[in-house]
Structure 1
Amino acid sequence: MKFNLKKTGLLLTGLLAGSTLFAQTPDSAATKNYVQPFSPGSAFRTWSFGLNGGITSPYTFIGGKQDFKNRGTELGYGGFIKYQMLPSFGLQGDYFRGKLTGSGASTTGASPYGSFSTDINWSAALSANITLANINWRHNKGVIQPYLTLGGGYMEFTPSVKNTTGASVAIASNTTTFQEFFIPVGLGLKFDIAPGVNFNLGYQMNFVNSDFVDGYATGAGNDKFSYAHAGLEFALGSRSKPQLATHNPVSSMRYEYIMKAKALQDQVDAEKAKNEKLQADLAATNSSLATTNSNLDATNAKVNSLTKDSDGDGVPDFFDKCPNTPSGSKVDGSGCPLPKAENVKVYVTEADKKVVRDAIANLEFDLGKATIRSHSLPSLNKVAELLINKNFSLKLAGHTDSQGSDDFNMSLSKDRAESIKAYLVSKGANASRIEATGYGETQPIASNKTAAGRQKNRRVEFTLY
């Protein structure tokens, strides 16, 4: 395979010089790739990997020592993984495999060999990647970013040589496979073809710390070779984040300035419109204020006439059908005196007394508490209905046995009477007609020395009247 590396180098140089001609200028690009200035690295896609393939040759642009006159071109391929630390600086690990060939007399003197062929079994290097044109003060985002690489690593290669008749001969060394340190130096162009996807064109010179890369050590200096390649780079991470290596922070700064200026202008315009509306509303308010005051005076006069109460019975003259009612008279809604209620006698029947007796017989509380047990409630409900329907009054007297302190028994008897009253009121009974009193252990009806006597003394008495 023949390949004119000089012409290729001129082409790469031309692309490098003209990279700023390709740029996205619409503000839509700035919006899409906007990241707030001084954001952490997590706001970007910082990891990427790439694959490439291309042409290898013992020839380099800088010339120098060549052990064979004719330099062949062969295929090579490789890949890398990169971490972008800054918009213009990243670290990448490179891997490469390929082949080198050459023939003809040595450029440094007579050679015992007619040709060589070297397999580069593997090479691994860590390189700094410096992006030159992603920070741009003229465009939102450049389509092309030139870059330089410099690093160091190790490689393993196996050279073989042939004499001028084409027969293989042993190289002048005690081994056929070498591992040596090398320094890769490169440059290239990165083309943004899609979000997070870049097309790379690159040229790399590899300076090996050995003169046996071509299998022939002669003269002063070590061997070197070149690798011209093309490939694709893929950014890792969320597609919603821009790739740090192609991000232009100047564009984000400009976009933020424009957005803040626009927001400030919108605020000024809104305040101006608000003030103009307030002025218009104030003028309209002032023009109607006189009319409002006049209407208010007329309304106040009407209100005074409607609320005037000459006889002081609480009913305005406008609604009073019985004017001049004597002071202190109770009147209805039309201002007329209410009829006097006649005294009505209330009689407690035997059936009423039975309702109360049943309630007393079924009444139980939780031990040492004023909580009424649930099975006592139906009987109390009947007492409440009696109080409501016949408007009776009721006296509740709570009593305890002699166990416990005097103060506790007095409090417990009072709480139990109040608990019954509260329940009857909750069922609709008139609270003003129920009296609840506690007597503690002061009024026993049986001996407190026996359990049966104490049981009788723990009671609440109902007096209906």
Structure 2
Amino acid sequence: MYVPVGVGAKFKLSEVVALNLGYTMNFTDEAFLYGPSAVNSKQRFANVYGGLEFTLGSRDKENLTFANPVATLYDELKDPSLRNEVEALKQRVSTLESTVDLLNKDSDGDGVSDKFDKCPNTPAGTVVDGSGCPIKFPEPVEKNIVSESYPNIQFEFDSSVLKTESYPTLDKLARELRESNGTVTLDGYASAEGTEAYNLNLSKDRANAVKQYLVNAGVPASSITVNAYGESNPIASNATEEGRRLNRRVEIKK
């Protein structure tokens, strides 16, 4: 085994010819490389070389051995026309940077640059539109509750069908709800005939029948709240037919 250690140099004589010189020392692990020796030590040998290198191919292409891109760039900048072009590019970049700084400037901090802000110096926290002017939000319209009392809507035994005699009351209620943008609560009830579960569903159907009439008359469904109470909260005794008739009702509440 041997390890070569060397140094060399290459000199450019022309665009196609180069002088190549070098020296190499080869270190071995052999004490008898040249035969028996009185000195018992590792032996070595050296090489000295010199030669000419010729670059083949088109002369339009530079030999990469001696190419220096940085030096080439520096040489090109010595050209007055290239230097003027670089200076012009620097000026354009400087102008663009100034324009960007101007566009980013927002003195009142409303998110719209001063160049496009039609309402400068708006107070901090003001909600503005794309032109920097405060947005005027419409005042919230509060829904009004129905302003007067209405009679109960009565129903026949075991029925959720509206009576024609209820139409004038419901028409008046619908008109007021539309004009005032108000809200109303409909509480459905039943008499104490039948099971509680059945009467609860019946009272719900009665309240929904009134709601459907109002919706058909132009009242938004979201303005109507429906409750069902079945046979609870009677307003008359369920021991008499007259009392049971009064308990079959839907109450209109403000």
- TM-score (ref. length: structure 2): 0.45
Task: Flag the structure with larger Rg.
Answer: 1
Higher relative contact order (CA 8 A, sep 6+): 2
- TM-score (ref. length: structure 1): 0.26
